[in-house]
């Protein structure tokens, strides 16, 4: 699947939600069996599930917005672009120096 990317060090960067749920279930079984050493890993998997769910919801909202824009007559390429603030705000920031301290 496209969402499953492996980094150079071999760690899975974006696990599917199903894989994370499977890991959580396995860790919970070990925890209920009396292995207290998996508590930290279980908390980490819980955070990963929450983050992945949030990312999926955001992607679905963007997809729905793009579909609605295409239905309204916008070109598919324009509809897929991430909408940011107004162009006026970007011009305003471009004229001012950036304070890096």
The pTM of this model reads 0.59
Residue 83 within any structural domain of the chain: yes
Residue 22 within any structural domain of the chain: yes
Burial of 27 per CB tally in 10 Å (0-12, 13-18, 19+): buried
How high is the pLDDT of residue 24? 93
Domain that holds residue 38: 17-94
Residue 50 within any structural domain of the chain: yes
**Half-sphere exposure (Cβ direction) of 31: Cα atoms closer than 13 Å:** 12
Cα 41 off chain centre by: 20
How high is the pLDDT of residue 74? 87
Count how many domains the chain has: 1
Residue 66 within any structural domain of the chain: yes
Residue 99 within any structural domain of the chain: no
Residue 61 within any structural domain of the chain: yes
How high is the pLDDT of residue 50? 92
Per residue of the chain (101 residues), what is the pLDDT tens digit?
A: 333 333 333 344 567 888 999 999 999 999 999 988 899 999 999 999 999 999 989 989 999 999 998 898 888 888 888 766 555 555 565 667 777 66
């Amino acid at each position: 699947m496209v969402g499953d990317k492996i980094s150079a060090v071999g760690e899975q960067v974006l696990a599917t939600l199903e894989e994370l749920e499977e890991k959580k279930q396995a860790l919970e079984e070990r925890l209920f069996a009396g292995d207290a050493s998996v508590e930290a890993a279980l908390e980490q998997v819980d955070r990963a599930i929450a983050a992945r769910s949030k990312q999926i919801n955001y992607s679905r909202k963007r997809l729905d917005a793009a579909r609605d824009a295409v239905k309204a007559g916008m070109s598919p390429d324009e509809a897929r672009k991430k909408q940011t603030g107004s162009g006026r705000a970007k011009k305003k920031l471009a004229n001012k120096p950036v304070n890096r301290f």
